[in-house]
């Protein structure tokens, strides 16, 4: 029996505003954040009968406490989806939500699902990365990885060693641009349409409403960044200002096969082209997006010159600049992260992949001359992930 793969489309994506650890979500449950996103997806797409959702995949890096108990299933039930809708949890550290998307997308292409919800959540204030983890002692005693591999900031310093042309001044300049672009995107109303405001509570402050990304530092300058400490290496390059913070937040996306999307009258915001995950040396995990992108491009029969829009997760500025330098792209190329990125907005680990996709979908709507775009990110323990998307609004012109 032969099977024909189906076209997979990105219908919609939403997220909570991202918070600082111990900040606006300090007394909010992790699962309630992703439940809010699932409910908002269903509210925004009323032509989708809840019983037509075939799967709910939710990622979390630290699957413990209110991020545990097969969170895809429990969040589905708590969001009010029918009991017939299954769900599961998934983990690929920073690329958790990205992997939730590509895993369910593969099921859609194969015909196992017609419609799926995929997203991620991370409450780093409640559950720091590594909480409850017991690494096998062989991983260090047998030198399977360098000890630096277990400290993300040290891997970023190692990447600076690999790319000596990426100076402290370049990463700080990139971080300033990220803050400026995010502030400009907020001022232009480009971020807010995909945010889900979240009611928050505090024993001290009472009830509140989270409606913007808490980590933003508008007005950041080169001078303020130059004064920050380099905690991972004496006289190093990585600081709290040129890296993403420790954050809380959730995302969710709606995927479908193209025929079902049209049948149900759902919007088609992007079309999946290819995806790839690749392993690299764990002690320089920030290099992961480079081979992942090269592989995804080969699979699609494309080159980097065919890509007109980039959403690169900003775990560290050096990781973005290493990617750009490898592909011969300028540090300030307007195609890259036009609305800013994680240095300004935050990076709640397993949730960030869908944020990249949602922002790419918005870029596609604004730029019909762009046919292909990609979302890419580095992944802890030495990996990279890239997803290439096609713009359904493409007007046939060259970007």
Per-residue pLDDT of 159-214, as tens digits, reads 999 999 999 999 999 999 999 999 999 999 999 999 999 999 998 889 999 999 99
The whole-angstrom separation of Cα 339 and Cα 362 is 10
Per-residue pLDDT of 3-18, as tens digits, reads 789 999 999 999 999 9
Q: Which residues in 314-396 belong to E strands, given as ranges?
A: 372-379, 383-390
Q: What is the pLDDT of residue 148?
A: 87
φ/ψ (deg, to 5) at 308: -105, -5
Is the separation of the CB atoms in 287 and 350 below 8 Å? no
CATH of the domain at 340: 3.40.47.10
Which pair of tokens denotes residue 388? 């290439």
Is 37 a catalytic site residue?
A: no
Residue from 246, 300, 313 nearest 96 by CA: 313
Report if residue 304 sits inside a domain: yes
Q: What is the mean pLDDT of residues 261-283?
A: 98
Report if residue 117 sits inside a domain: no
How many CB atoms within 10 Å of residue 83?
7
Per-residue pLDDT of 114-161, as tens digits, reads 999 999 999 999 999 889 889 899 988 998 988 888 899 999 999 999
- For residue 288, is pLDDT > 70? yes
The whole-angstrom separation of Cα 254 and Cα 257 is 11
Q: What is the pLDDT of residue 322?
A: 98
Per-residue pLDDT of 328-385, as tens digits, reads 999 999 999 999 999 999 999 999 999 999 999 999 999 999 999 999 999 999 999 9
Q: Are strands 270-279 and 8-15 parallel, antiparallel or unpaired?
A: antiparallel
Q: What is the mean pLDDT of residues 293-312?
A: 98
Q: What is the pLDDT of residue 398?
A: 73
The whole-angstrom separation of Cα 125 and Cα 234 is 27
Q: What is the pLDDT of residue 399?
A: 65
Q: What is the pLDDT of residue 305?
A: 98
- The secondary structure of 123-136, three-state, reads ECCCCCCCCCCCCC
Residue from 346, 96, 98 nearest 246 by CA: 346
Report if residue 308 sits inside a domain: yes
Polymer length in residues for the chain:
399
Could you say which of 123, 326, 378, 393 is catalytic? 378
Q: What is the pLDDT of residue 171?
A: 98
Could you say which of 123, 127, 160, 347 is catalytic? 347
Share of the chain above pLDDT 70, in %: 99
Residues 6 or more apart whose CB falls under 8 angstroms from that of 10 comprise 101, 253, 254, 255, 268, 269, 270, 271, 272, 357, 361, 389
Report if residue 11 sits inside a domain: no
Residues 6 or more apart whose CB falls under 8 angstroms from that of 298 comprise none
Report if residue 79 sits inside a domain: no
Report if residue 307 sits inside a domain: yes
Enumerate the β-bridge partners of residue 274. Answer: 388
Report if residue 52 sits inside a domain: no
Q: What is the pLDDT of residue 397?
A: 81
Could you say which of 94, 123, 127, 160 is catalytic? 94
Report if residue 280 sits inside a domain: yes
| Structural domain of 315 | 145-190+273-389
**Radius of gyration (Cα) for the chain, nearest Å?**
20
Phi-psi region of 394 (alpha: psi -120 to 50; beta: other; left: phi over 0): beta
Please provide the DSSP assignment of 177-189 as one string. Answer: HHHHHHHHHHHTT
Is 326 a catalytic site residue?
A: no
Which pair of tokens denotes residue 105? 């997308």
Is 347 a catalytic site residue?
A: yes
The whole-angstrom separation of Cα 111 and Cα 94 is 28
- For residue 326, is pLDDT > 90? yes
Q: What is the pLDDT of residue 1?
A: 67
Per-residue pLDDT of 224-265, as tens digits, reads 999 999 999 999 999 999 999 999 999 999 999 999 999 999
Is the separation of the CB atoms in 290 and 323 below 8 Å? yes
How many CB atoms within 10 Å of residue 80?
11
Compute the mean pLDDT over every residue in the chain, rounded to the nearest whole number.
Answer: 96
Residue given tokens 């060259």 in the structure block: 398
**Count of domains observed in the chain:** 1
Q: What is the pLDDT of residue 150?
A: 86
Is the separation of the CB atoms in 166 and 322 below 8 Å? yes
Which pair of tokens denotes residue 287? 């290099």
Is the separation of the CB atoms in 119 and 59 below 8 Å? yes
């Amino acid at each position: 029996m032969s099977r024909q793969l189906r076209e997979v489309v990105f219908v919609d994506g939403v997220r909570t505003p991202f918070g600082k650890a111990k900040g606006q979500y300090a007394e909010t449950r992790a699962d309630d954040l992703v439940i809010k996103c699932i409910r908002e997806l269903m509210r925004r797409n009323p032509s989708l009968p809840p019983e037509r959702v075939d799967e709910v995949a939710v990622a979390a890096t630290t699957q413990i406490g209110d991020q545990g108990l097969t969170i895809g299933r429990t969040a589905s039930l708590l969001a009010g989806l029918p009991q017939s809708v299954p769900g599961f949890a998934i983990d690929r550290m920073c690329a958790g939500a990205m992997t939730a998307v590509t895993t369910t997308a593969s099921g859609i292409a194969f015909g196992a699902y017609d419609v799926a919800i995929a997203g991620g959540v991370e409450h780093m204030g409640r559950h720091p990365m590594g909480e409850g983890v017991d690494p096998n002692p062989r991983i260090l005693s047998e030198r399977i990885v360098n000890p630096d591999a277990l400290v993300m900031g040290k891997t970023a310093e190692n990447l600076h060693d690999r790319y000596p042309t990426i100076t402290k001044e370049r990463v700080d300049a990139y971080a300033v641009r990220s803050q400026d672009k995010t502030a400009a995107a907020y001022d232009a109303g480009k971020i807010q349409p995909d945010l889900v405001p979240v009611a928050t509570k505090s024993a001290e402050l009472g009830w509140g409403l989270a409606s913007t990304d808490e980590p933003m530092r508008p007005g950041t300058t080169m001078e303020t960044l130059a004064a920050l400490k380099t905690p991972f290496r004496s006289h190093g390059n990585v600081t709290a200002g040129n890296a993403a913070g420790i954050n809380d937040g959730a995302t969710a996306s709606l995927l479908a096969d193209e025929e079902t999307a049209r049948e149900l009258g759902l919007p088609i915001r992007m079309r999946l082209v290819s995806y790839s995950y690749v392993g690299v040396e764990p002690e320089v995990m920030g290099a992961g997006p480079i081979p992942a992108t090269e592989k995804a491009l080969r699979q699609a029969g494309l080159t980097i010159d065919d890509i007109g829009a980039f959403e690169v997760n900003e775990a560290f500025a050096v990781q973005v600049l290493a990617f750009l330098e490898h592909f011969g792209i300028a540090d300030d190329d307007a195609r890259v992260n036009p609305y800013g990125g994680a240095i300004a907005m935050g990076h709640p680990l397993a949730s960030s992949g869908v944020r990249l996709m949602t922002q790419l979908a918005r870029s596609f709507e604004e730029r019909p001359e762009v046919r292909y775009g990609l979302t890419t990110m580095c992944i802890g323990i030495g990996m990279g992930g890239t997803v290439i998307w096609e713009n359904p609004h493409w007007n046939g012109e060259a970007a």
